[in-house]
Structure formats: C-alpha cells, structure tokens
Structure 1
C-alpha cells in the first residue's frame, strides 16, 4: 500500500470518506500553510485567522462526510473558496454592526459598560443612558424603532424587517440614517458620552 503522502488530493478525500482519519491529517498538513496564510492576509488578525481556519476545516470535513464533495482533483481551490467565504461572512457580520462614536472616538455601546459597580460609575452610566434616550427620542419614529430593536432587543435586520413590515434594505437604511442623525446631534450639542 502506498504511503498517504504519495496520494493525490482526490485519493486522500476518498480514503478519508472511507474512514481513514490519517488521510485527512495528510490533506490538512499538505494545504494548511496556503489556506491559513490566505485567511491571515484577509483578516490581518492571528487569532481570528486561526478561528476561521478551524471553521473552514469543520465545513470541509462535514461536506466530505455527508458525501457532498464533488470537485474531483480541485480540493485546494475548493477549500480556499470555503475559507474565503468564511472571511467574507465575518466582514459582513462586522459591517452590519454599526457604531456611534463619542468625542474620544469610542463606540458608545462599548463605553456603556453594564458591569460597573461604583456609585460614581452608576451615576455616569445613568446620565449617558439618559442622553442616548433623549437623542433617540428626537429621531424620526422609524429610525428610532430600528435602532432600539437592533441594539436593545438584539434583533437581526431580518427580524426587524419582519416586525416593522418593511424590507431588509429599508431597515438597514433606517438604521444608517438614524446613526447619521445621532452623530449630527452629538456634534451639534457637543455631547460626549
């Protein structure tokens, strides 16, 4: 029987599907540098790249085990596409999370830390919440509704669109304009959170 390293990718995939776990190890060792480096190049964060690399191989394994792998002789491009799609998904997720910056260029939803204990911190937090609520009250109702559902009810834009009876793009637009209006209010009133 030939050694696993002398087998091509297609043969290794077939061997893994037949139950040889060592064939998967050989595939991973053969292609890990190219796949990991491409992920790292896209996300520019070692820990995130490691997570995405692991997720990519979990998807690869699940696809091969379920018998859905059909790209004979093209394992590496297929694996690279899975890794790339996971990177794109990560950036979409990050991009969907809008931020409102305060005067120190910090996201106000990160500044409002809910685990603070001191009386002074509680008072500052209460004032900040009050300012945010006051500014939210000044927004048009449709923009305020989307921001509240997204940040306070932690709903997805799909859920928001369903609840508000509008399209996902309309919900995204309302969020965008609501955040723009909040930033304008903060600038005009020189509010620092």
Structure 2
C-alpha cells in the first residue's frame, strides 16, 4: 500500500511500532500548516523554525513514551503542542503580544495558562485570523505603524525613525489605526470575544 495515502492514525501506529517512515510522512504532510500557524504568532522565521523543531521533538518523545492517546486527531494534538510552545516562547521573553489602547480595546490577548480546551484554542486562533484580516483593511501607513508596534514591539521613536516621520505622526497613525479598526469591527458586526 502507498504510504502517502495512509491515515494519520495508522502512520502514528506504524511509528510507535518501529517504522520511522511513519513520522517522516506525518511531518511532511502537516509541515506547511503547522509552520504557518507558528509563524502567524511569532512573525519571525528563525523562531518559527526553532518552535517547529521543538514541536516535533515533543511529538516524537510523547509517541516513544507511549503517551499518545488522541486516536485519529493527530493534527489538532500537534497544533496544541505548537500553540503551547509559542506561549512558552513569549513567557520566556516576557513579551506576550498584547496591546491595549486607552479605551481598553484589546487587539490581541493570548495570555494563557496552557490548559485551555481545544475549542477555546480554535476560537482564539480564529479570532486572531479575523483581526489580521481587519488589519489588512487599514490604510498602508496605519497598518505599518500597527504592525511595528504590536508584532515587532517597536517604540514610537523607533517607528518614527523607521518610517521617516515625527513621533507625533507615528502616534497619530496608531490612534487612527485603532479608531478605524473599531469602525470596521462595528460595521461588520464582528464580536471579538471568546
């Protein structure tokens, strides 16, 4: 039988039974999805690569210890491991991607105790995806400042230097970005709660 057509659960079983090829196919099959998920959170290729490798080291260790019991749910299980490693990364660096404006409108809030349910994770992930789409609707100058401030955690002075504008202009763009995000959210009746 062609190994590429084998279900995830069967490949996991083969790997547990000693066939190394099983894990290779699983990694190849799901690499793009898991890698993209990690990158969407950390926005850095080197960190993404490290977390991706750590994810599969953890997967392999768990499988070798015989502690895997998510029969038929391999991908969500791996995504949960990746998600928890992303949270660990931010905790280690004391840099949770969280931003609050003066009117307490949270853009991102991914602080987690690592014990959330799969539904909670999926909702959080979907919410982040929705916010990213909303950010894409902003004018380029506002989007640029927002991304630098939230994802790259640059100071307004660094943003001003990088975009060749005054600090007041950078602050103004951030303010308008938040106002426009609020308008887009209200216009589309989007609810950003979990």
Please give the TM-score of this superposition, normalised by the length of structure 1: 0.49
Higher relative contact order (CA 8 A, sep 6+): 1
Between structure 1 and structure 2, the one with the greater Rg is: 1
Please give the TM-score of this superposition, normalised by the length of structure 2: 0.48
